[in-house]
Amino acid sequence: MGPQNGSNHVDEAYSKRAPVKAGHSGEQPQWSGQAAPCLNRRFVWVLIGAAVALGWGHWLRGLVWSRALLTVSISLEGAAWALDWASWITRRFRRRPRVTLSYRGRLRWEEVAAHNTAGSAWVAAHGKVYDVTDFVDRHPGGRELILLAAGRDATYLIESYHPFTEAPWRVLVKHEIGELASNEHPPYAGDRSGFWRDVRRAVQAHLRQHGIRWRSPWPALQRMLPVYALQALAFYGAFGLPAAAALSTSPVFSLAVIRTAAATLSFGVLQALPLVGWMHDASHASIGINEWWWFIVGRLSLDWFAGASMLSWRYQHVVGHHVHTNVAGSDPDLPATVAGDVRRVAPSQLWARRYRYQHYYVPLLYGVLGMKSRLQDVLEIFLWQTNGPVRVNPISWQDSLRQVASKLGWCWWRIAWPLSAAWAPAQRGGAFWWLFVAAELTTGYYLALNFQVSHVSGPCEFYQRQQIDERPDPTSSTTSSSGENCAAAAAHTPLAGDIADEWAVAQVKSSLDYAHRSRLQTFLSGALNYQTAHHLFPSVSQYVYPHITPVIMRVCGQHRLKYHVLPSFGAALRLHLKHLQALGARGVPAELRLE
């Protein structure tokens, strides 16, 4: 089979589809036009927050006694499970005809993006396009992960989630239907140095030699179950009857009030620990051997206990951040706009006078991360179906029902239940909200500081998105039309706008480790102090990172690749603040920008 004639081949069956939301491609970076929508979304968040603060307290008190909130939540979750089973039975007993694979030649990324559902699932990898529709239900990692990759370039999702096997590539070759002619996001250079090959082999050999089970769930269970027990005690101490009574009758600086404050802050920390712990592993499929582990652990710890969304987190963190780490305009963890954002963390952002003080005010804003994420997942993922530069594929009814169910369930146990059962008789609802905000700010600071110090720092590399050109046209006069030469022309080589570094090399350059010798810091950070190992091997459990990091460091040394590591979290935090100060002190102002 060979490419069809013509460089602008478009499948007529999909040429009439509506334009796909995406990170765009062309001379102007897609993020330069997002300032107004971003401001509008923030305005919506402010309105919703005001409505919550003003109206929810009285409304929830009434609902909790009738148990309506909890009943609706459980009913919606049950409906989602019923739809899951009905869908599974339908797929199992009603065989649909196999997809007929036909070679479609060169395909633009917009064409691939249109095939992002279970009914028509295409993925791109290493410049090839594959129709994996028939493989969705047979994927060993489950449907959810492969559908996250559908309709996009999944090269480094496949590489990093199958680091010790070539099986995916043997399967994909049977489903090849074309070649990728353009890129939605800037592609990395190929593995020319052999670093990714060498580090995979070295880590795999180390795991085999020492008999390490790199997805074992038992270390996480041993650590997280006591955390949840302590979390329940802290929740009772902060929001139960003793706290309500103390704040109703005791002086401000009494021992009872101090105990309540300590319990509130402790709950904030204990709420964050499972999120950097086994929730993080579940989102990366690195706990347990099948999707049931990832589904149950992830949904319970993030959706129900934290009130956020695993689906939203996976789009932002797994699909976006881990593939496009520190790539401006592609990494959702970086500011979405080239100008106008509240902080300047990437050199490619335009400078403004207010950034001179960002090392003072930006850390203060980190506390709202948790509260913001609980609104962002609803607004961006489920309403706008985009997470910054990352497109969100069509969302099933089951996921929508689960999102509503978990939000209502979280509101019930986290707000309505204590507010009605303990705080209403004391007539101290205002004090409850102060404690609620204090706990959420503590969680937000804990998470944000752990995340920020590992990538937003002076030693870390930042990559700038530029124009992304198409690959050479195999039918042009400068290229032979033979099948062999067509394949060679389509093979990936660095183009204008490509990232010069290989993906694995970029992960090392854009990550910062710290406190390797501290077991306590490793536990408190969810092993994010081994950030480089996590970004190279996200599908490996965090409890294995201390074992494989010396191997990774040795291979980095062999390839003369600098490995960034600091002695403590304090040192990493100081470098983060210095980075904010340095980027706030100088830069190209917006009014001097040349178009």
Sign of CA dihedral 520, 525, 527, 529: negative
pTM of the model: 0.82
- Give the β-pairing of 386-387 and 176-180: unpaired
**In angstroms, rounded to a whole number, what is the distance separating the alpha carbons of residues 312 and 291?**
17
pLDDT tens-place string over residues 381-402:
777 777 788 999 999 889 989 9
452-478: b (≥16 Cβ within 10 Å) or e: bbbbbbeebbbbbbbebebbbbbbeee
Mean pLDDT of 139-154: 93
Tell me what pLDDT residue 571 has.
97
Tell me what pLDDT residue 89 has.
83
Residue with tokens 């980075």, as numbered in its chain? 579
Tell me what pLDDT residue 470 has.
38
User: What average pLDDT does the structure give for the chain?
Assistant: 81
**In angstroms, rounded to a whole number, what is the distance separating the alpha carbons of residues 580 and 374?**
26
pLDDT tens-place string over residues 173-198:
999 999 999 999 999 988 889 999 99
Mean pLDDT of 485-510: 65
Per-residue confidence at 564, pLDDT binned at 50, 70, 90? Answer: very high
Per-residue confidence at 233, pLDDT binned at 50, 70, 90? Answer: very high
Tell me what pLDDT residue 374 has.
85
- Give the β-pairing of 116-117 and 120-125: antiparallel
**In angstroms, rounded to a whole number, what is the distance separating the alpha carbons of residues 442 and 220?**
23
Tell me what pLDDT residue 191 has.
85
Tell me what pLDDT residue 513 has.
98
Domain residue ranges of the chain, discontinuous segments joined by +: 20-97+184-595
**How many CB atoms within 10 Å of residue 412?**
22
At 391, which helix (H) or strand (E)?
Answer: strand 390-391
The answer, yes or no, to whether residue 370 has pLDDT greater than 90, is no
Tell me what pLDDT residue 95 has.
62
Q: Nearest Cα to 380, choosing from 371, 392, 368?
A: 392
- 46: tokens are 């402010």
**How many CB atoms within 10 Å of residue 343?**
20
Q: For residues 62 and 320, which has the higher predicted lDDT (pLDDT)?
A: 320
The answer, yes or no, to whether residue 274 has pLDDT greater than 90, is yes
**In angstroms, rounded to a whole number, what is the distance separating the alpha carbons of residues 314 and 275?**
13
The answer, yes or no, to whether residue 48 has pLDDT greater than 60, is no
- Phi-psi category of 142—alpha, beta or left, where left has phi over 0 and alpha has psi -120 to 50? left
Residue with tokens 């005001």, as numbered in its chain? 50
- Give the β-pairing of 499-502 and 188-189: parallel
Tell me what pLDDT residue 543 has.
96
For residue 125, report the phi and psi dihedrals to the nearest 5 degrees: -160, 130
**In angstroms, rounded to a whole number, what is the distance separating the alpha carbons of residues 267 and 280?**
19
DSSP codes, 23-54? S--SSS-GGGG-HHHHHHHHHHHHHHHHHIII
Tell me what pLDDT residue 302 has.
94
**In angstroms, rounded to a whole number, what is the distance separating the alpha carbons of residues 454 and 464?**
19
The answer, yes or no, to whether residue 46 has pLDDT greater than 60, is no
The answer, yes or no, to whether residue 67 has pLDDT greater than 80, is no
- Give the β-pairing of 565-566 and 513-514: parallel
Tell me what pLDDT residue 416 has.
84
Mean pLDDT of 92-112: 79
**In angstroms, rounded to a whole number, what is the distance separating the alpha carbons of residues 138 and 121?**
13
The answer, yes or no, to whether residue 469 has pLDDT greater than 90, is no
Dmax over Cα atoms in the chain, in whole Å?
Answer: 87
- 529: tokens are 């102090």
Angle at 385 between CA 382 and CA 387, to 5 degrees: 105
Instruction: Calculate what percentage of the chain has a pLDDT beyond 70.
Output: 78
Tell me what pLDDT residue 494 has.
38
